[in-house]
Amino acid sequence: MMSGPLLRRGLQLAALALLLQGCASTRQPPAGRAYRFGHDTFAYANELVWVYGWDADGQWRGTPRTPKPDYSHRCFVVAKSAKQFFAHAEFDPELPIADDLTYRRLVGEVLNSDPSSTATPSDRIRIPGYPSLRAFSVAQEDLLKAQSGGPWRSYFQRGHWRMIFPFSRQSQANTAEAWLQAIPEHRPAVAHVLTFPSLRINHAVLVFGVREEPERIVFLVYDPNTPDRPVELIFDRATRTFHFPTTAYFPGGKVNVYEVYRGLLY
């Protein structure tokens, strides 16, 4: 039997190995094509429950939206689903439009696929009758929303435990560098964007594009709350800090980010 110090050391090493396993991903060949905003995004939005803005005292505040939205608290659901459709589905407009039962089965297969992997062309789930996810989500909005799941899938995403621990500047730089390599290989990443403990933002986006500049890296993201245009997530090289822009729900500023739906722990 191990002595006390040796046992503690062994447990520490085992925990480290498990953490590294969760952070690592199997290297795969590049996907067949680049992610295209407006083609690989949903037409509908994750709706806001609150209306935000600056008050007379210069404070960023929210008031309940009236009427209450029908589809909200699903940013993680939408971002993950968009990645799964990109990685595992193929739309074929040359085939005839199918019935609801067929689409329900096909959508279920896509949403049960592994979001951390990419299907080969021969293994992709073929969606007949539509040229893109955008067009499919216009015609089959109710079915997609129902199949994707409720808000609890956002509340209980398995990687939420990570937000309570500090984010070092080196960890943020490592995330930026990992995406700088993955995105050109057509591997979009679902990112948890947050400020903790304030939770002024606690959101999921899909990182799909990147542009390098001398002092910063500009990541293009699909924001489930803003389906009409891409949003820029900026990484400042000097401070090794991510910045999220001003939106209808966030006043803009420094954030921490990490990738989810990519391993055992996240």
- What per-residue confidence (pLDDT) applies to 9? 46
What is the pLDDT at residue 59? Answer: 86
Question: Does 107 reside within a domain?
Answer: yes
Q: Is 199 within the bounds of a domain?
A: yes
Which of 261, 215, 258, 249 shows the shortest CA–CA distance to 234?
A: 215
Point out the domain boundary residue: 154, 177, 203. 154
> 111, 132, 154: which is the final residue of a domain?
154
pLDDT tens sequence for the chain (266 residues): 434 443 344 434 444 444 444 444 444 545 578 999 999 999 999 999 999 988 888 888 889 999 999 999 999 999 999 999 999 999 999 999 999 999 999 999 999 999 999 999 999 999 999 999 999 999 999 999 999 988 887 888 888 889 999 999 999 999 999 999 999 999 999 999 999 998 899 999 999 999 999 999 999 999 999 999 999 999 999 999 999 999 999 999 999 999 999 887 88
Q: Check residue 30 and give its pLDDT.
A: 54
- 12's enclosing H/E stretch is helix 4-23
Residue pair 14/26 in contact by the 8 Å Cβ criterion: no
88 and 144 in one domain? yes
> Which of these three, 154, 174, 198, is where a domain ends?
154
The residue range of the domain holding 108 is 50-154
The answer to whether residue 20 sits within a structural domain is: no
Burial class (CB in 10 A: 0-12, 13-18, 19+), 5: exposed
Q: At what angle do helices 100-111 and 141-148 cross, to 10 degrees?
A: 40
